[in-house]
């Protein structure tokens, strides 16, 4: 049953007024040094620098003031004084002078533009290059920006003077700022502490010492994270407040710093009295600050942060309303370009996000994203707070995703949080929060897509967050809750009880640590209940379920009216109540479950991504009651709500697929005449296509499709039952070979669209090529990968997602053009059969459970021919498949992954990349049993229905063509060889028709549509053998094979090229494939069922994989003869996706492909190839000259296998020698 888990916690506000000195202390540019670039070798004396001349300093009457430069090495000069920045001035223009007084260069020195919260960095050095007219070697100038914290300052070049202890501590502090050595900061603190301990309270400098001590302790807390430092800083600031009169201009500064520290302590310990006091002193600081004071905006922003902190603890909506108000005022008071503007924008965004979490009001989150984006864009690269900007932006995207389910938002959130973690230094107090947030967004994406790697990333990040959490940290419950959520999800996949127990332990601890009245307590309780109920479903321990219901009921009871997550907590409670009902049959439980889940559905009305989940849970409960009571009204309620979930306009495709399936299945099983059956299966098949959409890699699409592989077969079976063979064909076409179909769509000609809008068509073509490339990417993330590599992969995934979205938008534009409304839409029956081959028949065979049916379609017929096959079932097909596998293993023709060995050693090696260990045949069934079963159960009834008669071998009349499109387990069986091969009544399908295969009808009709004339120069044959590919068994027969083919080509005047072994590399082969319409590969092949685009042909030099082939423009591709092993063997878990090289070559553009179902012997392959080409060239049309033409390839293969069959007997071993050769395509 669907559940939802929430509770994202982020680092939160940026407390930008960490040290508020009232704006009275001046800034100084210090430690100025000029360096000549060491990469130049000019003589040092050629660059004699003497002075730095600065304009605009106080007391100079607008005249330039010169400062002496001291030469300290052949390449370095230093200015041994500090220069005060005038009030309101952020930069100084400086002229560099040489020994003779000539101006030789101009450079600007500006202050480091960081918010006051990063005072630690105001000792960082800036560096800038500049050129002089004296020499061509460039120079670099570096400097630092510092502020003194002493009580009084004097103008000029000398350091400000105050009491000795304050002065000495400031000296230590300056050293710390320059060097980053914490020991210097500690000396500054101890100097002041000693002075304060030994001085009377009425000492004139006592206030200055307290202010400086608070500042230094606060700084050390920010650097080291020592909670005691924060407490002592608060004590110092409180003492300082006691010394200041109400009208003293220094009071707002001290109050602001005290409020900041109290807020910081609250964020660590969660004590409500700290945040209450913080708000009081910050309100007082803002109230007594004069209008227009430079520090007023930062004081307002800090107040807004404190109000938000209290809101997040207590849930009082008035606090967040006030927070947003003061943040808006703070932003309005600063000008564009102000150093603190990014932090203020970010804080405004944070407060809007907090209100959105409570109310779900979409305009709030939209404004928040806008503010966070602007804050990030205004933050310089390398800025200390850059990680905070990314964190806050990631939070905003995540929150919008939680409401809308937009995949682009969760991709943006992951990208932002990954960058935040990468920029956060080890040991930084905010790192655990950042890691937990990253884990939460990975978990959110996992819940959308089911990608287990996302869940692994979530658990890894959450574990690290908890491990790094300081003892007693106020956010530790949130991090524990998130860890529990991720572990719960992994348990569902692994079934490891240790993981669900660890999840429950973490979530119980989270609840136990939560302060009474904490706003997130309902979330933590509800998630604990989820995990307990998960364990109950695994173990049956009713105590877990009882505790789950208790926790979730408490969550609902604690929920404030109108809370944005109330529907989640109601839904989860209903799921647990339903679980207990299924165990106890207590109708009171299921009635209560339905009641609370109906409330959840009502809350999500109006457009919420969780609406399908809530509808599905409600439908599950009605179905559970139907199973118990048998009441049809309960069934109808269940179907109704599954339908609502499936058709919901909001939510992710994943959240709508399961209800669509339930809607279809319940309707079909219990309401066989219901008009809902057709639209229900339509919806389900359409939703599968959305889940395995173009935004996914090909590998990921195949992974997703495995669990839904039988859906098209199930739907088709229902359509046959309803006497709708046309709809059955539509569903089989739309739901099978989905990935190849998507690639075909991306490669579809856009001529029609180009007639209406050439620019739009060109953009569509460009995006399609980029999407195809993005989909075939091979790299995947793993937990131990460096974070920088993960960021790059997520960037690629985000770009992939944007391309998929642009593709959809472009299709929408094209379909808005009159006459193009159905452009590249899934085809209806009439469109599917519109371009069938002019002669021959296409037969689609559907097998599902105990039902088997065939559909025959042929050109010129308006209606499909439905052929019931009552004597064949899915069970029989699987039994024949197993029997055949045993025979193949017995003959050494199936196993993959080892070197090839034919039992007994009498045959030459085969051509699969693998070693085949022979096994004894088990039981009496053999190949004859399989072929006879296919003949009597499938093939002969089809031939009879088509009124096709057996031809004598003496007949010269050409056999008709027949294309087979098998489904499910039939895809692995040799329908083309079905027959009776013993006794007097020997007959087979080969006596009636020439067989070919096609993955789908559409794949065949696409070949018909594209059957255009081949370029005269490209109508030729390229043949290659690769007998000794590294790491494989030698296949010397390939040399004989291509030699024979080439010699035949010369005798028949066919334009051909032969290259063997080292003469052609895999890369070079691609060039020949572009210039030759026919190719013949005699080599080893390696099929990768998990990653089809990595299936490959093995060369002496490298390998040629399918993904690379598909990226080439093979516009003249005609015939590919793949004389290698298992090039048409599919994957059992993806039987209807045609995951093999033959289908891939069709998708790459070849019109016809000769392939093999299993390993072929090196002894027979050359003769088959020779007979194939002999037929092809002896039956070609007159007058085509030396052109290569593969049109008769199906007849040629039919002839070649018949010739091999004549040379062999009818033993199982002999049958297995000629049966594997198959023809695909037109």
Q: pLDDT tens digits, residue range 1045-1097?
A: 999 999 999 999 999 999 999 999 999 999 999 999 999 988 886 677 788 99
Count of domains observed in the chain: 7
SS3 of residue 1204 by DSSP = helix
10 Å CB burial of residue 741 (0-12, 13-18, 19+) is buried
Domain end (from 783, 800, 823): 823
pLDDT for the residue numbered 166: 83
CATH of the domain at 226: 1.25.40.10
pLDDT at 129 over 80: no
10 Å CB burial of residue 89 (0-12, 13-18, 19+) is middle
| List of residues 6+ apart from 314 with CB closer than 8 A | 272, 517, 519
Packing angle, helices 677-691 and 725-735, rounded to 10: 10
Half-sphere exposure at residue 819, Cβ-oriented, CA atoms within 13 angstroms? 6
The Cα–Cα gap between 937 and 852 comes to 9
Domain identity same for 1079 and 964 = no
Residue carrying structure tokens 């960095």: 121
pLDDT for the residue numbered 911: 56
pLDDT for the residue numbered 449: 85
Per DSSP, helices labelled H in 225-316 are 227-243, 251-269, 272-288, 296-314
Domain identity same for 722 and 753 = no
Domain identity same for 138 and 216 = no
Q: What pairs with residue 1123 in β-bridges?
A: 1082
Packing angle, helices 182-197 and 206-224, rounded to 10: 150
Reported as a pLDDT band with limits 50, 70 and 90, residue 216 is very high
Nearest to 315 by CA among 507, 472, 514, 608: 514
Per DSSP, helices labelled H in 947-1051 are 1001-1009, 1037-1051
pLDDT at 893 over 60: yes
Give the β-pairing of 1152-1156 and 1221-1225. Answer: antiparallel
pLDDT for the residue numbered 643: 97
In a domain, 474, yes or no: yes
700 or 1194, which is more confident?
A: 1194
In this structure, what DSSP letter does residue 440 have?
H
- Give residue-wise pLDDT tens across range 223-247: 777 889 999 999 999 998 988 888 8
pLDDT for the residue numbered 5: 36
Domain identity same for 1168 and 1196 = yes
Domain identity same for 873 and 955 = yes
Q: Please give the C-alpha separations between residue 83 and each of 59, 62, 753, 1051, in angstroms, as whole numbers.
A: 13, 16, 68, 94
In a domain, 833, yes or no: yes
Question: What does the H/E/C string look like for 458-485?
Answer: HHHHHHHHHHHCCCCCCCHHHHHHHHHH
pLDDT for the residue numbered 405: 87
532 or 424, which is more confident?
A: 532
In a domain, 473, yes or no: yes
The Cα–Cα gap between 1008 and 1002 comes to 10
Nearest to 17 by CA among 296, 331, 351, 320: 296
Reported as a pLDDT band with limits 50, 70 and 90, residue 560 is confident
- Give residue-wise pLDDT tens across range 741-797: 887 788 777 878 888 888 998 898 888 888 887 876 656 777 778 888 878 888 888
Lowest mean pLDDT among 312-321, 660-669, 678-687: 312-321
In a domain, 836, yes or no: yes
pTM of the predicted structure, to 2 decimals: 0.72
In a domain, 127, yes or no: yes
pLDDT for the residue numbered 56: 73
In a domain, 590, yes or no: no
The Cα angle at residue 209 between residues 205 and 215, in degrees rounded to 5: 150
Lowest mean pLDDT among 354-363, 1084-1093, 1176-1185: 1084-1093
Q: Please give the C-alpha separations between residue 906 and each of 319, 409, 1040, in angstroms, as whole numbers.
A: 87, 62, 18
SS3 of residue 412 by DSSP = helix
Give the β-pairing of 961-966 and 994-997. Answer: parallel
Domain identity same for 1102 and 1221 = yes
The Cα angle at residue 1114 between residues 1111 and 1120, in degrees rounded to 5: 105
Domain identity same for 964 and 875 = yes
User: Which pair of structure tokens corresponds to residue 125?
Assistant: 């050095």
Domain identity same for 932 and 802 = no
Give the β-pairing of 851-857 and 1056-1060. Answer: unpaired
Domain identity same for 918 and 1063 = no
Instruction: Domain of residue 833: give its range.
Output: 829-996
In a domain, 646, yes or no: no
Range 280-301 average pLDDT: 90
SS3 of residue 917 by DSSP = coil
Reported as a pLDDT band with limits 50, 70 and 90, residue 804 is confident
Cβ–Cβ < 8 Å for 199, 206 = yes
pLDDT for the residue numbered 291: 82
Question: What are the backbone dihedrals phi and psi of residue 987, each rounded to the nearest 5 degrees, phi first?
Answer: -160, 155
In a domain, 633, yes or no: no
| List of residues 6+ apart from 682 with CB closer than 8 A | 731
Reported as a pLDDT band with limits 50, 70 and 90, residue 870 is very high
Domain identity same for 854 and 790 = no
| List of residues 6+ apart from 908 with CB closer than 8 A | 902, 1035, 1036, 1037, 1161, 1162, 1163
pLDDT at 15 over 50: no
Mean pLDDT (the chain) is 86
Nearest to 256 by CA among 224, 233, 225, 229: 233
Q: Of the spans 28-37, 205-214, 961-970, which averages the highest pLDDT?
A: 961-970
SS3 of residue 295 by DSSP = coil
Domain identity same for 1192 and 1086 = yes
Q: Please give the C-alpha separations between residue 248 and each of 243, 254, 288, 662, 676, in angstroms, as whole numbers.
A: 10, 11, 10, 73, 79
Domain end (from 86, 121, 147): 147
The Cα–Cα gap between 624 and 594 comes to 10
Domain end (from 947, 965, 996): 996
pLDDT for the residue numbered 1133: 72
Nearest to 831 by CA among 821, 839, 840: 821
Domain identity same for 1213 and 1163 = yes
Nearest to 1175 by CA among 1191, 1151, 1159, 1153: 1191
Q: Please give the C-alpha separations between residue 265 and each of 119, 229, 253, 517, 661, in angstroms, as whole numbers.
A: 19, 10, 19, 19, 52
């Amino acid at each position: 049953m669907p559940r939802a888990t929430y509770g994202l916690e982020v680092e939160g506000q940026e407390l930008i007024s960490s040290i508020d000195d009232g704006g009275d202390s001046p800034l100084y540019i210090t430690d100025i040094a000029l360096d000549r670039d060491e990469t130049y070798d000019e003589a040092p004396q050629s660059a004699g620098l003497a002075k730095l001349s600065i304009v605009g300093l106080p007391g100079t009457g607008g005249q330039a003031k010169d400062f002496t430069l001291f030469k300290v090495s052949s390449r370095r000069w230093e200015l041994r004084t500090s220069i005060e920045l005038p009030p309101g001035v952020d930069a100084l223009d400086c002229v560099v002078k040489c020994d003779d007084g000539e101006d030789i260069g101009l450079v600007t020195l500006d202050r480091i533009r960081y918010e006051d919260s990063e005072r630690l960095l105001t000792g960082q050095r800036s560096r800038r290059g500049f050129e002089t007219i004296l020499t061509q070697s460039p120079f670099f100038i570096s400097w630092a920006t510092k502020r003194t914290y002493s009580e009084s300052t004097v103008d000029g070049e000398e350091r400000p003077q105050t009491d000795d202890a304050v002065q000495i501590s400031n000296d230590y502090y300056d050293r710390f700022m320059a060097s980053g050595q914490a020991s210097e900061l500690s000396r500054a603190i101890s100097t002041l502490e000693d002075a304060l301990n030994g001085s009377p309270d009425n000492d004139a400098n006592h206030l200055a010492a307290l202010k400086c001590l608070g500042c230094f302790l606060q700084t050390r807390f920010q650097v080291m994270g020592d909670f005691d430092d924060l407490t002592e800083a608060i004590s110092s600031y409180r003492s300082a407040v006691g010394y200041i009169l109400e009208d003293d201009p220094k009071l707002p500064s001290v109050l602001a710093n005290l409020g900041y520290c109290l807020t910081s302590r609250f964020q660590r310990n969660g004590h409500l009295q700290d945040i209450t006091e913080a708000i009081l002193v910050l309100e007082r600081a803002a109230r007594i600050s004069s209008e227009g004071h430079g520090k007023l905006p930062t004081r307002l922003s800090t107040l807004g942060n404190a109000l938000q902190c209290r809101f997040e603890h207590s849930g009082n909506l008035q606090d967040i309303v006030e927070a947003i108000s003061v943040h808006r005022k703070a932003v309005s008071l600063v000008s564009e370009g102000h150093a603190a503007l990014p932090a203020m924008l970010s804080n405004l965004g944070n407060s809007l996000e907090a209100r959105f979490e409570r109310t779900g009001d979409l305009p709030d989150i939209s404004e928040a994203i806008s503010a966070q984006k602007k804050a990030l864009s205004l933050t310089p690269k390398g800025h200390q707070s850059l990680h905070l900007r990314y964190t806050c932006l990631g939070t905003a995207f995540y929150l919008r995703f939680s409401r809308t389910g937009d995949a682009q938002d969760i991709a943006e959130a992951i990208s932002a949080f990954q960058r935040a973690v990468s920029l956060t230094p080890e040991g930084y107090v905010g790192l655990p929060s950042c890691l937990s947030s990253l884990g939460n967004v990975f978990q959110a994406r996992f819940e959308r897509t089911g990608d287990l790697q996302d869940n692994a990333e979530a658990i890894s990040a959450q574990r690290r967050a908890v491990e790094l959490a300081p003892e007693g940290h106020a956010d530790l419950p949130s991090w524990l809750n998130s860890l529990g959520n991720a572990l719960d999800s992994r348990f569902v996949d692994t079934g490891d009880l240790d993981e669900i127990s660890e999840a429950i332990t973490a979530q119980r601890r989270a609840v136990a640590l939560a302060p009474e009245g904490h706003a997130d307590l309902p979330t933590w309780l509800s998630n604990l209940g989820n995990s307990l109920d998960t364990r109950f479903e695994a173990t049956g321990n009713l105590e877990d379920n009882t505790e789950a219901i208790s926790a979730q009921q408490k969550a609902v009871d604690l929920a404030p009216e109108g809370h944005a997550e109330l529907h989640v907590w109601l839904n989860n409670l209903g799921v647990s109540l339903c679980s207990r009902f299924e165990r106890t049959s207590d109708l009171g439980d299921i009635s209560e479950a339905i009641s609370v889940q109906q409330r959840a559905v009502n809350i999500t009305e109006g457009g919420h991504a969780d609406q399908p989940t809530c509808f599905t849970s409600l439908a599950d409960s009605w179905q559970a009651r139907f199973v118990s009571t048998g009441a049809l009204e309960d069934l109808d309620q269940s179907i109704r709500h599954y339908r609502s979930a499936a058709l919901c306009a909001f939510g992710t495709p994943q959240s709508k697929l399961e209800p669509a399936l339930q809607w279809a299945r319940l309707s079909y099983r219990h309401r066989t005449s219901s008009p809902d059956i057709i639209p229900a299966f339509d919806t389900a098949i359409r939703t599968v296509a959305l889940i395995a959409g173009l935004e996914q890699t090909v590998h990921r699409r195949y992974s997703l499709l495995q669990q839904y592989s039988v859906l098209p077969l199930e739907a088709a079976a229902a359509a046959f039952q309803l006497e709708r063979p046309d709809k059955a064909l539509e569903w089989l076409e739309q739901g099978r070979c989905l990935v190849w179909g998507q690639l075909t769509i991306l490669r579809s000609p856009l001529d029609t669209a180009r007639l209406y809008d050439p620019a739009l068509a060109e953009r569509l073509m460009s995006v399609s090529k980029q999407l195809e490339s993005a989909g075939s990417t091979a790299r995947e993330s793993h937990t131990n990968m460096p974070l920088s590599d993960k960021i790059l992969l997520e960037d690629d995934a985000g770009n992939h997602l944007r391309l998929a979205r642009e593709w959809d938008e472009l299709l929408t534009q094209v379909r808005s053009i009159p006459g193009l409304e159905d452009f590249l839409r899934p085809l209806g029956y009439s469109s599917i059969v519109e371009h069938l081959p002019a002669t021959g028949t296409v037969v689609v065979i559907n097998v599902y459970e105990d039902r088997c049916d065939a559909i025959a379609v042929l050109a010129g017929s308006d209606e499909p021919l439905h052929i019931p096959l009552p004597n064949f079932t899915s069970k029989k097909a699987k039994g024949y498949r197993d029997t055949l596998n045993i025979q193949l293993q017995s003959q050494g023709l199936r196993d993959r992954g080892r070197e090839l060995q034919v039992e007994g050693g009498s045959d030459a090696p085969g051509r699969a990349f693998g070693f085949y260990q022979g096994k004894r045949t088990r039981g009496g069934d053999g190949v004859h049993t399989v072929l006879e079963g296919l003949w009597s159960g499938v093939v002969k009834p089809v031939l009879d229905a088509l009124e096709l008669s057996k031809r004598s071998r003496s007949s010269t009349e050409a056999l008709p063509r027949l294309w087979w499109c098998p489904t499910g387990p039939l895809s692995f069986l040799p329908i083309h060889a079905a027959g009776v091969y013993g006794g007097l009544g020997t007959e087979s399908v080969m006596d009636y028709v020439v067989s070919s295969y096609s993955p789908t009808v559409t794949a065949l009709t696409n070949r018909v549509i594209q059957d255009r004339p081949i370029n005269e120069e490209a109508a030729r044959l390229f043949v290659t053998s690769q007998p000794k590919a590294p790491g494989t068994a030698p296949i010397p027969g390939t040399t004989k094979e291509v030699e024979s083919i080439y010699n035949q080509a010369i005798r028949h005047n066919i334009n051909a090229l032969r290259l063997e072994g080292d003469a052609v590399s895999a890369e070079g082969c691609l060039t020949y494939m572009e210039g030759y319409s026919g190719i013949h590969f005699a080599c080893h092949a390696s099929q990768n069922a998990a990653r089809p685009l990595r299936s490959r042909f093995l060369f002496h030099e490298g390998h040629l994989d399918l993904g690379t082939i598909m990226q080439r423009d093979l516009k003249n591709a005609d015939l590919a003869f793949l004389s290698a092993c298992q090039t048409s063997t599919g994957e059992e878990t993806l039987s209807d996706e045609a995951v093999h090289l033959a289908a891939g070559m069709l998708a790459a553009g070849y019109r016809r492909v000769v392939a093999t179902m299993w390993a072929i012997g090196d002894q027979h392959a050359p003769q088959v190839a020779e007979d194939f080409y002999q037929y092809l060239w002896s039956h070609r049309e007159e007058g085509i000259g030396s052109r290569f033409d593969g049109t008769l390839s199906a007849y040629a293969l039919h002839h070649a296998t018949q010739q091999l069959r004549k040379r062999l007997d009818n033993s199982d071993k002999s049958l297995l020698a000629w049966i594997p050769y198959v023809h695909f395509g037109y």
